[in-house]
């Protein structure tokens, strides 16, 4: 079977400016993929191209096997989309709005009541089902937007910042809805919130400045980036010769120094190291042999510092 979402060498240009650069990835049925990047990275532009709101300048996008440019209507029938700002009609109440969206999506009239019951229950909208949308809190508006995306049981679900504006309880409920839907559908979630991808996503695609930097499982990214581990020290000055001694240890890849705020005569030393065992002890022995050491700690790679590492590498390459 072909992927439910497939991007092949996608570019997006506005005049002479290229916004999206050669982005390629896929999402399979039964898979939740996190689309991770800082604000302005190109996530929303890419999501809008997948949803068919704008077309790529070059490359191909397929949804459920249909080309989003040449077979837009067929592809749209397979798609549920929650944009960053849900497309709500404020003068309708929640049930009226969802019934209208179901009709627009072509849900058979006999199936609309069951569809409404399913999405209202899944998104915990029972308490506001007869309330006008303009009276809803931001959290309930976000849930209503998610409910409209789920109508018609689409094969593909696109969610752009789906938990924006929700309180912690609502975020947990929304995650459960997405996790359950993702068991038998393809879900792409755009977010800049790192915990989102670690909790519900099978894979993570990292994007910045319109370029796809990496795509793998959270654990795979962590395994591939173990050299983002570091050992941090606080050492009394002077530190002459310490850099050379530390770089002589197998597994120490780089060493940087910085002053400790409010601590005169104390220097912070960051050693970027690989994953080998015992490297903290080796660093401690070398340092203690010639300098006064006040603190040592090992920081294991997390998705957050892996993400920042990829972003930092891109900035260095651009420079």
The model carries a pTM of: 0.74
Q: What is the mean pLDDT of residues 35-50?
A: 90
Answer whether residue 49 is part of any domain.
yes
% residues pLDDT > 70 (the chain):
92
| Adjacency order of strands within the sheet including 211-216 | 66-67, 58-63, 5-14, 17-27, 211-216, 203-208, 31-36, 186-191, 156-160, 79-82
Decide if pLDDT at 217 tops 60. yes
pLDDT of residue 40: 84
> Quick one: 198 and 289 in the same domain?
no
Check whether 1 has a pLDDT greater than 70.
no
Whether residue 235 sits in one domain with residue 110: no
Residue 229 has pLDDT above 80, yes or no: no
Distances from the Cα of 67 to the Cα of 27, 40, 47, 60, 106, angstroms: 15, 26, 15, 7, 20
Paired strand residues for 236: 266
Residue 139 within any structural domain of the chain: yes
pLDDT of the residue at 28: 94
pLDDT score recorded for residue 177: 87
Structure-model confidence comparison of residues 26 and 168, the more confident one: 26
Decide if 309 is inside a domain. Answer: no
Q: Within a domain: residue 217?
A: yes
In the predicted model, is pLDDT for residue 101 greater than 80?
yes
- Considering the domain architecture, whether residues 115 and 242 belong to the same structural domain is answered as no
Is residue 32 assigned to a domain? yes
Q: What is the pLDDT of residues 161-198, one digit of tens each?
A: 888 778 888 888 888 888 888 888 999 999 877 777 87
Per the structure, the complete domain to which residue 97 belongs is given by 5-223
Same domain flag for 208 and 288: no
Rounded CA-CA distance 283/297 in Å is: 11
How many distinct structural domains can be found in the chain?
2
- Is 319 a domain residue? no
Give percent of the chain above pLDDT 90: 59
Domain shared by 73 and 166, yes or no: yes
Confidence of residue 114 (pLDDT cuts 50, 70, 90): very high
Residue 92 lies in a domain: yes
What is the pLDDT averaged over residues 102-118?
94
Grade residue 262 by pLDDT with cuts at 50, 70 and 90: confident
For residues 66 and 166, membership in a common domain is answered with yes
pLDDT at 169: 82
Residues 122 and 167 in one domain: yes
The pLDDT of 2-17, averaged and rounded, is 93
pLDDT in the model for residue 34 = 92
201 with 272, same domain: the answer is no
Three-state secondary structure string covering 9-72: EEEEEECCEEEEEEEEEEECCCEEEEEECCCCCCHHHHHHHHHCCCCCCEEEEEECCEECCCCH
Same domain, 50 and 184: yes
Segment 93-111 shows an average pLDDT of 95
Is residue 291 in some structural domain? yes
Residues 189, 34 contacting (CB under 8 angstroms) = yes
CB atoms inside a 10 Å sphere around CB 43: 25
Q: From 192, 223, 254, give the residue that closes a domain.
A: 223
pLDDT for 269-318, tens place per residue? Answer: 999 887 677 888 999 999 999 999 999 987 766 666 677 767 766 665 66
| 181 and 205 both lie in a single domain | yes
CATH number at residue 235: 3.30.70.260
pLDDT digits (tens, 9 = 90+) for 121-143: 989 899 999 999 999 988 899 89
Tell whether 83 and 231 lie within a shared domain.
Answer: no
Q: Per-residue pLDDT for 11 more than 70?
A: yes
Question: For residue 120, what is the domain's CATH number?
Answer: 3.40.50.300
Q: Do 110 and 131 sit in the same domain of this protein?
A: yes
């Amino acid at each position: 079977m072909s992927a439910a979402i497939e991007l092949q060498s996608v570019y997006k240009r506005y005049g002479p400016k290229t916004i999206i650069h050669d982005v390629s990835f896929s999402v399979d049925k039964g898979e939740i993929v996190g689309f991770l990047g800082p604000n302005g990275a190109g996530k929303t532009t890419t999501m809008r191209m997948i949803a068919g709101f704008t077309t790529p300048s070059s490359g191909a996008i397929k949804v459920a096997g249909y080309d989003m440019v040449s077979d837009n209507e067929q592809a749209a029938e397979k798609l549920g989309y929650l944009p960053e700002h849900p497309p709500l009609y404020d003068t309708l109440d929640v049930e009226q709005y969802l019934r209208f969206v179901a009709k627009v999506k072509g849900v058979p009239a006999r199936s609309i009541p069951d569809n409404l019951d399913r999405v209202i229950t899944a998104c915990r909208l029972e308490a506001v089902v007869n309330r006008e949308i303009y009276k809803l809190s931001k959290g309930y508006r976000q849930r209503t937007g998610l409910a409209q995306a789920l109508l018609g049981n689409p094969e593909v679900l696109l969610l752009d910042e789906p938990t924006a504006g929700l309180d912690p309880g609502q975020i947990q409920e929304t995650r459960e809805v997405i996790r359950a839907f993702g068991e038998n559908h393809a879900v792409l979630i755009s977010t800049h919130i790192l915990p989102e991808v670690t909790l519900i996503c099978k894979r993570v695609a990292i994007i910045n400045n319109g370029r796809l930097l990496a795509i793998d499982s959270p654990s795979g990214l962590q395994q591939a980036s173990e050299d983002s581990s570091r050992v941090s020290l606080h050492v009394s000055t002077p530190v002459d010769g310490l850099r050379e001694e530390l770089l002589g240890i197998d597994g120490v890849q780089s060493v940087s120094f910085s002053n400790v705020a409010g601590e005169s005569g104390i220097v912070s030393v960051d050693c970027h190291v690989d994953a080998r065992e015992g490297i903290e002890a080796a660093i401690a022995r070398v340092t203690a042999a010639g300098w006064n050491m006040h603190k040592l700690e090992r920081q294991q790679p997390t998705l957050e510092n892996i993400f920042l590492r990829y972003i930092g590498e891109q900035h260095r390459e651009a420079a």
